[in-house]
């Protein structure tokens, strides 16, 4: 069953913005981010308010670069990891923009790109923004342990990025246009019975493999047709599992073209286990790093595959396994 | 700024399904629901799994009535009140359908109708489903107190409905078609500084007023053009506030046409405070009751306005106020 949305009018990506915390700025991609927050509270009273503020600033930066005011955007698709996506609700409250709340765990940013591109491609709005965030301190205390406890982490565990990213898609070509959105593939929720919340890459890899295979089949494309295939936050271990799963299904994987945002965000020396994670991971790396490669022409065709682990603390405490979901979008640079 | 999505191809509503618990079945609308669950655990080990199972069953019933298998649906838009919308994730895992996770609190079902109708109208998929659920026991223990405590409630408090609803929209007219979707209006996040979680109607009414005014302005319609305008779960108190807010803005409110799903779901004698609430409230009342009125021709043009209160336990504990959001869809019955 075909799951790919084909965008005949190929919406333009006309603006992008990214932000991150100190640790992320010290990683290999640090120089690519637009804004670095040296205070992880951003002057707010709580980390939760800080995350909302980071998301607001990043989204506003993107909208302004697209030449609009927040109220003029067709719609902003937003989501984050906090219960009831409260960072997004608070960011949208400040922005006053038309708003769709979405949740695909760490795949949220790409889910929003798929929906936003559809909205623009279909002529329903002239522009749409996808924006997403995560914050190490909010995620850690919501999903794991109080930071003050200084808990040990397993080598397979991932590190929630303090980061945000926003992208604007438009029906109107402008001088600012970076790329066009060709298509997007909708995810399915897939569960391989992984119940270790410190092994998210393994939980998400099957959904990523499923979406990549589906996209390739629906579009008749393969690794040869892309300059880069970027996964969201499988981490180093999840990336290896993905390669195995793809090869099992007869996909010829070009390892040099396969980048994982989470595995790239931190250096192994930074003590972040298998790599970065969180909604802000694929959002900031896509808008900060990947789209800069597309903008300067060094990457022509880019596929981004966001991956999400659909767990909650309640589901974990009740012994449930962790299903995964993955959404993809395919971009083509203006300079290709 | 126009916020209304106009659907030129006017997707058909070809199937609907609803389910509820015992208390809801004993209310004034009890006879309209397709399935009543007498065991609030649905044979599952936890209320959370029970909610997921209720959502799965309801969605599957809807899809089967639409003549499809779950894997054949274009996409299912799903969301619920639990942290990380875990009921939806688990329902989608069992269904194996293409999946978009969304979150608009109690407005989620209408948000999903807006996005699904857009997807079908634009020709991206032949069919789309919106489905949503809530469960008194899961919501109570996540948002409020342990059930065993038997906490007292204020008169303005609302009662989370144990209920689910699903609707299928299609590009293809069939004998089963109930109505067509004319348009949908996107919400904005609006905050009037209400911080009482037992007064959700007051927190959501400003967003509902904003979306109704916007829709009327964008479409040139008013109360006179609809046979019914149904709000999601403002409750009895919120409904009064809405009328006041609309009249302040010069809207002529026809009180006889204004129904609130939450205020209608329970009888005042049932001890449910200001009325029902939860994602399952507008979902079940829309698919069970309202669409039956459209199907039999007693309501021709129906506007449904889902309302959501964007709070989390963390935001409440941190003393934050409660922003609201509202989405609307306008339907026209086949018999009109």
Residue range B115-160, pLDDT digits in tens: 999 999 999 999 999 999 999 999 998 998 888 888 888 888 999 9
Q: How far apart are CA B90 and CA A323, in angstroms?
A: 8
Q: What is residue B100's three-state secondary structure?
A: strand
Provide the token pair at A112.
């929003």
Per residue in B315-326, pLDDT (tens digit) is 999 999 999 999
Whole-number Å distance between alpha carbons of A280 and A133: 4
Which chain A residues contact residue B98 at CB under 8 A?
1, 3, 186-188
* Cβ within 8 Å of A, B 1-40: 1, 3, 5-6
What is the pLDDT, as a whole number, of residue B150? 82
**Calpha distance B122→B10 (Å, rounded):** 10
Q: Is the pLDDT of residue A336 over 70?
A: no
Count of A–B CB contacts within 8 Å?
A: 171
Interfacial A residues in 252-291 facing B (CB < 8 Å)? none
When computed from its CA atoms, the radius of gyration of chain A, rounded to whole angstroms, is: 18
List of chain A residues whose C-beta atoms are within 8 Å of the C-beta of residue B189? 89, 92-93, 96, 99
B-contacting residues in A 44-73 (Cβ below 8 Å) = 45-46, 48-49, 71-72
Chain B residue numbers touching A191 (CB-CB < 8 A): 93
Q: Residue range A209-231: average pLDDT? A: 98
Q: How confident is the model at residue A149 (pLDDT cuts 50, 70, 90)?
A: confident
The torsion angle over the Cα atoms of residues A176, A231, B104 and B111, rounded to 10 degrees, is 70
Q: Work out the burial of residue B141: count CB atoms within 10 Å of its CB; fewer than 13 is exposed, 13-18 middle, 19 or more buried.
A: middle
pLDDT tens-digit series, residues A279-308: 999 999 999 999 999 999 999 999 999 999
Task: Decide: A55 and A109 in contact? Cβ < 8 Å.
Answer: no
From the list A190, A191, A312, the residue facing B82 with the nearest CB is A312
- Secondary structure class of B278 (helix, strand, coil): coil
Tell me the pLDDT tens digit for each residue of A72-123. 999 999 999 999 999 999 999 999 999 999 999 999 999 999 999 999 999 9
Question: Hey, are the CB atoms on A189 and B93 less than 8 Å from each other?
Answer: yes
Token pair for residue B264?
A: 């209608």
Answer whether B102 sits within 8 Å of A98, measured CB to CB: no
Q: How far apart are CA A243 and CA A263, in angstroms?
A: 14
Closest CA to A327 of A89, A105, A12: A105
**Residue B326 CB neighbours (<10 A):** 34
For residue B106, is pLDDT > 90?
A: yes
B334 lies within 8 A of chain A by CB = no
Q: Out of A196-200, A212-216, B172-176, B314-318, give the one with best mean pLDDT.
A: A212-216
Q: What is the pLDDT of residue A85?
A: 98
Residue with tokens 């990947």: A290
Q: Which of B48, B92, B315 sits opposite A315 (nearest CB)?
A: B48
pLDDT-above-70 percentage for chain A: 99
For residues B216-229, average pLDDT: 98
Chain A residues whose beta carbon lies within 8 Å of the beta carbon of residue B190:
93
What local confidence, expressed as pLDDT, does residue A152 receive? Answer: 84
pLDDT beyond 70 at A150: yes
In whole angstroms, give the CA distance from residue B129 to residue A330: 25
Q: Testing the interface with B: which of A84, A116, A181 to mutate, by most B Cβ within 10 A?
A: A84
**B54-69: buried (b, 16+ CB within 10 Å) or exposed (e) per residue?**
bbbbbbbbbbebbebe
Kindly report the number of other CB atoms within 10 A of residue B325's CB atom.
32
Share of chain B above pLDDT 90, in %: 93
Which of B92, B104, B315 comes nearest A86 by C-beta? B315
Phi first, then psi: what are they for B233, rounded to 5°? -155, 55
Distance CA A45, CA A50 (A): 8
- Which of A102, A121, A314 is closest, CB to CB, to B101? A102
Token pair 């924006």: residue: A131
What pLDDT, on the 0 to 100 scale, is given for residue A14?
98
CA dist., res. A300 & res. A297, Å (int): 6
All residues of chain A having their beta carbon less than 8 Å from the beta carbon of residue B85 are 103
ipTM of the prediction greater than 0.90, yes or no: yes
Q: Inter-chain contact B83–A313, Cβ cutoff 8 Å?
A: yes
Report, in angstroms and rounded to the nearest whole number, the Rg of chain B calculated over CA atoms: 18
Which residue in the set B72, B101, B314 is minimally distant from A83, CB to CB?
B314
Confidence band of B336 (pLDDT split at 50, 70, 90): low
Comparing CA positions, the residue from B63, B235, B229 lying closest to residue B160 is B235
> Closest approach of chain B CAs to the CA of A161, in angstroms?
18
A contact test, residue of B103, B137, B139, B215 with most A CBs within 10 A = B103
């Amino acid at each position: 069953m075909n799951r790919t949305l084909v965008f005949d009018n190929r919406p333009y990506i006309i603006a992008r913005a990214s932000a991150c915390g100190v640790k992320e700025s010290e990683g290999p991609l640090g120089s690519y981010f637009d804004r670095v927050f040296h205070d992880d509270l951003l002057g707010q009273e709580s980390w939760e308010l800080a995350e909302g503020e980071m998301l607001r600033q990043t989204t506003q930066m993107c909208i302004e670069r697209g030449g609009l005011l927040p109220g003029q955007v067709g719609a902003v698709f937003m989501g984050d990891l906090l219960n009831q996506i409260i960072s997004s609700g608070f960011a949208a409250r400040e922005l006053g923009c038309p708003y769709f709340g979405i949740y695909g765990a760490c795949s949220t940013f790409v889910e929003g790109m798929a929906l936003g591109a559809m909205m623009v491609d279909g002529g329903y709005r002239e522009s749409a923004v996808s924006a997403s965030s995560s914050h190490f301190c909010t995620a850690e205390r919501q999903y794991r342990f109080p930071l003050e406890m200084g808990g040990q982490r397993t080598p397979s565990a991932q590190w929630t990025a303090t980061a945000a990213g926003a992208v604007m898609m438009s029906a109107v070509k402008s001088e600012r246009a970076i790329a066009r959105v060709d298509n997007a593939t909708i995810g399915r929720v897939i569960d391989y019975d992984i119940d270790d919340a410190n092994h998210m890459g393994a939980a998400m890899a099957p959904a990523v493999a499923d979406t990549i295979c589906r996209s390739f089949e629906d579009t008749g494309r393969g690794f040869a047709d892309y300059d880069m295939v970027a996964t969201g936050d499988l981490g180093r271990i999840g990336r290896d599992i993905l390669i195995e799963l793809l090869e099992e299904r007869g996909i010829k994987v070009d390892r040099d073209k396969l980048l994982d945002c989470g595995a790239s965000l931190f250096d192994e020396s930074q003590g972040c286990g298998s790599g970065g994670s969180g909604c802000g991971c694929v959002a900031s790396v896509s808008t900060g790093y990947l789209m800069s490669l597309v903008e300067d022409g060094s990457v022509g065709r880019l596929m981004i595959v966001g991956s999400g682990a659909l767990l909650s603390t309640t589901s974990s405490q009740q012994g449930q396994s962790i299903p995964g979901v993955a959404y993809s979008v395919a971009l083509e640079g203006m300079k290709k």
